[in-house]
Every structure is written in C-alpha cells, then in structure tokens.
Structure 1
Amino acid sequence: MMKAQAYLIILLVSSLSFGCGEFYKLEKSTNWDELYEAANRYYDQGDYNKSIILYDRVLPVIKGSGKAELAEFNYAYAHFRMKRYIESAGYFKTFFDTYNRSPLAEEALFMHAYSLYLDSPDYNLDQRSSREAVNAIQLFMNRYPESDSYERATSMIDDLQKRFEEKAFEESKMYYRLTDGLFPGEFYRACIVNFQNFAKSFPDSKYNEELAFKLVEVSAAYAERSVFDKKEERLNQSIDFAQDFNQKYPDSGYGKKVNNLMSETKTELESHYRLKEQYEARSAEARKIREEEERNQAATEALRNVEN
C-alpha cells in the first residue's frame, strides 16, 4: 500500500515537472504555429494564465491572419476568466471594433459591457465606472435590439440604476446630518437642492416620500433662521413644499408632522407680516420726519438768504 502511494506521488511530480518543462520550452520557442496551438490548448483546458502568456507572444506575429480572430477572442475571454475585468472589457471592445462583422462580434460587445458591469463598485463607492458600464450596456442594446442577451442587459442597467439611487440617497442623508452642525445655513440650502434633484432623477424611488418630508422639515428650519429680508420668501417656499407633500402623499405616515410644521410655519409667517408692517410703518414715520426736517432746513436757509 505504501509503495503504491509512493508511486502515485512520484508519477504526479513527474507529470508536473514535465508540464512545467514543456511550458518553459514553449515560452522560448519561435515556432508560431506550435505556440498558437498550445495557447488554444491551454485555454481549452482552463489554464488561462498560461494561455495569456502564450497569446501575448503569438498575437503580434499572427495579427491580420485567419488565426488572429479566434486567438484575440480567446485572449479577451482568458482575462475575463481570470477576473481581470477592466482588461477583458478593453480586449472585447478592441475585438468588436476590429471584427464587427464577425459572428462573435455580438458576444464580444456584450462581454465588453458585462466586464465593466462586474467591475462596477458597490453603491457606497465612486460610481464613475458604473456610469461607463451603463453607457457600454446601452451601446450593446442599441446595436443589437433583437439579441437574446437584451433582457439580461436591461436587468444589468436596472441594477446599476439602483446603485446610483442608493448612492444619491446616502448623499442626501449626509447633507441632512450636517444641518445639526454649528453652521447649518449652507447645508440647509444644499439639502433643499439635493432633495429636489433626487426626486427629479429618481421619480419612482421608494425614498421620495421620506425625502419630501425632510424637504418640508429642512425648509421650515431654514426659513425660521433666515435674515429678515429672505424670511418671507423662504417661509412661503416651505408652505408650498408642505402642500405639495400632502397632494402627493395624502395617506402618508408623515402627514401629521407635515401639517404641524406647516401650521408652525404659517404662524411664523403671520408674525413676520406683523413685524414687516410695524417696520414699514416706522420706516414711513421716519421718512416723514426726515422729509419735514429737510423742508424746515430748506426754509431756514431760504430765510437767511433773504436777510442777507
């Protein structure tokens, strides 16, 4: 039994050594036909790393020949199988641009988009690469609207759009948290703009009701803390937001809070109007006194001129 096990180990080591020795010879070979066949063989066997190394050697030599098309397609797929998605995306796109009439062109363009999709990050990270993936998927869908992969491409775009939505919602929550700081003024304004933009970008989002409530809440606080000259405009804006909320979400669980905020804002607005009337009355009285003083001063000056 022990002898049999030892024999198997020796056989395994020998075969591995032979395989390594064979690949080492291929790396040094200039027999391009042999390299081409070996690269394809390693690819078919699933040894993608070795196939990439050999394709790197042989592709510049066979470029433009009948062998190049399959080699370049396998080369792109080998990178994909190794989960080198950025590289595979580039190689699949190059293949499509070079062989756009090939029977493999449709698959190459889809794999270009799919590679970018797989490389796109979670929603809490920078989404620039995800937008590149969306553009690539859209390119595929426009080029091959009848493709069997069209529905799959649509689901990929839907998934990426959800990531954009989650990313935007996290940014909205960040601005909202910052309104609790020492200098909330700028963040109130940023919240209002951000919440409105979110609703425009994602009109069907499950978060719109919550953000619409926060829009009323933030705008009311912003108006309350505004300087006198801006207060009336911002109080009216907050009331408009509350009325819009009630119209869009008549059965919302936030309804009571929204109505309380609107009532408080209307009370604040009425108080502001009274202060404004008092201010305008005092200003008119001060203007009247100043004009009277100016007339008296003019009359005094005129009398002095007559006496002189």
Structure 2
Amino acid sequence: MRLPLFILLCLTVLLSSCSQYQQVLRKDDMGKKYAFADSLYRIGKYRKGLKLMEQLVPAYRGKPQGEKLMFIYANTYYNLEDYYLSGYQFERFTQAYPQSDSVEIAAFKSAKSFYQLSPRYSLDQKDTDKGLEKLQEFINQYPNSDKRTEANTLVAELRNKLEKKEYEVAKQYLRVEDYKAAIGAFDNFITDNPGSIYRKDAFYGRFVAAYKLAINSIPVLVQERLREAKVYYNNFMKYYKDSDLAPEALENYQDIESRIEPLETEPTI
C-alpha cells in the first residue's frame, strides 16, 4: 500500500527535525544549542527545549544572552506546570537581573507559581502561606502593575482557603463534642478574621458549642454555663438577627431559658 505524498513529506520533515535535534543536543556548539532552544521555545516544544536549556544555563550565566535565556528557562518550567521550579527560577531571575524589562512579569510569575502550589484547604497550608507572602511582596513592590488586580484576587482566594481551614478545624471540635475546644477555636477565628465569609457561622458555632457544653455539664456547672451560652447568643443576634441561622439559634435560646429559670428561682439554703 502506497502512502500519500503529503504523509511522506510530513514523515520526512519529522524525521529530519528529530535527527537535527539529536545532533545539536550531543554537540558542544553552544551557539547552535541556544538558537535551537529558542526556536523550540517559540513553537511550544517545551520539553525538548528544556533539555537544551539545562546545558546552556551554566554556560551563559553572567553573559549578555543569559538574561533572555534565564527568563525563558523559568517560563518553560511554568508552561510545563512544574511550579516548584518555575517559582524558584523566576525568583533567581529577579535577583540576577533587577534592572531587566522582564523583572516585573518574572516577579509576578514567581508569586503565581507559589499560588499554584497551594493545596486544597484540608491539607497542610505551608505552600499557601508562601504564596500569600510572595503575592503580597509583588503587590507592595509593584503597586501600579497591570497585574495588581489579578494578584489581589489570588491573595483573596488564598486567604479564604486559610480561613476555611481554620473554620473547619473549629467545626470539627464541635462535631466530636469537644465543646470547650470548639468555643476557643471559634473565638480565635472571630478575632483573627473580622471580614471572613465564615464569620456568621463562627458566631453561631460558638453559641451552639456553649449551649451544648452547658446542657451536658455536671449539675453544679450548668447554671453558670447556661448564662455564658446566653451571652454568646446575644453576640450572635447582635450581628445576625436577620440571618438564616437566627430561627435555629432562637430555639436553642428558648431551651436555655426553660432550663435556667428553675435554677435561678430555686430557694437558697
């Protein structure tokens, strides 16, 4: 079976290109390697280009061509979604070429690389903290950058993730009936995150934890803890009396009142 001429031509070009790449990769001609790596980068052949760049970077460090090479080297890792290395290499670029025309975009891509490494909220958030730090550094250093709006959006996203983790930890204490720990965790959350989208739920969670702690306490502690739960109810209603959680809070509050009234009217001996 004869292959169509077009397919034969494509195969010929492909084999020729592969052969040329292998020749350049094996030889010591850094000029040819540089030109070939640049051409591969331009057409999006990042993995092939990376092998050449790994040979080129040590040879061109400190030379005029090094600036462009170091940028496309970092950006190759970024395009390959190897964000650990792109973050590191863009950071190196900003340190090595602080006067470069590309330093601002390199700083942003370095910060965004660390953002990309942030895991889901339930996992360790060390990379999230790192991403926040780097994005904030970028915003502070380039307040007039056209990337500032995007950077602020990324910061808000990472902060929300940290808030969600902290809120879920407090909620977990409530779920496992460690009510004292839940009250403390919700307290800390409310103090540390004044503008959080989880603030309403934290106020409510703190009240519920205090209510359940009271009704599950030994008799000698019940009255005092019911009073404390009433304080948390009032705090919740101060800010969220019209919220969807207010009816449930009211039910618990009415139960508190029904329990506390007999205790407060008992005659003293």
Q: Same fold (TM over 0.5)?
A: yes
Note if contact 1:124-1:167 (Cα within 8 Å) is conserved in structure 2.
yes
Q: Which amino acid aligns with 2:146?
A: D
Q: Aligned partners of 2:50 and 2:239: how far apart in 1? A: 58
- C-alpha separation between the residues in 1 aligned to 2:222 and 2:97? 64
Report the CA distance between 1:14 and its aligned residue: 2.0
Could you list the runs of 5+ residues in structure 2 that have no partner in the other structure? none
RMSD (Å), alpha carbons: 2.3
Aligned partner of 2:151 in structure 1 is 153
Q: CA shift at 1:227, angstroms? A: 3.6
Max Rg structure = 1
CA distance in structure 1 between the partners assigned to 2:198 and 2:143 by the alignment: 32
Q: Paired residue for 1:114? A: 112
Among all aligned residue pairs of Structure 1 and Structure 2, give the percentage whose two residues are the same amino acid: 26
> Hey, what does 1:249 align to over in structure 2?
240
TM-score (normalised: structure 1): 0.79
Structure 1 residues 68-109: Cα deviation after superposition (integer angstroms, max 9, x where no partner): 111000100111111111111110001001111211111110
1:153-211 CA deviation, whole Å, 9 max, x = no partner?
Answer: 111111222222333333333222212xxxxxxx1112111222222233233433233
1:101 match: 99
Three-state SS of the structure 2 residue aligned to 1:140 is: helix
Q: 1:81 to 1:252 in 2, by over 3 A?
A: closer
Runs of 5+ consecutive residues of structure 1 not aligned to the other structure: 180-186, 282-308
Of 193, 198, 211 in structure 1, the residue corresponding to residue 189 of structure 2 is 198
- Give the one of 70, 78, 81 matched to 1:80: 78
Contact (CA 8 Å) 1:106, 1:144: kept in 2 or not? Answer: yes
- 1:222 matched to 2:220: no
SS in 2 for 1:93: helix
For 2:10, the aligned partner's letter is L
**Which structure exhibits the higher relative contact order, with contacts defined as CA atoms closer than 8 Å and separated by 6 or more residues?**
2
Q: Conserved in 1, the CA contact under 8 Å of 2:186 and 2:202?
A: yes
* Letter in structure 2 aligned against 1:207: Y
Q: Give the conservation status (yes or no) of the 8 Å contact 1:216–1:261.
A: no
Instruction: Give the partner amino acid of 2:86.
Output: S
TM-score, normalising length from structure 2?
Answer: 0.90
Work out the CA distance in 2 between the residues paired with 1:72 and 1:145. 25
Aligned residue runs from structure 1 range 135-150, under 5 A: 135-150=133-148
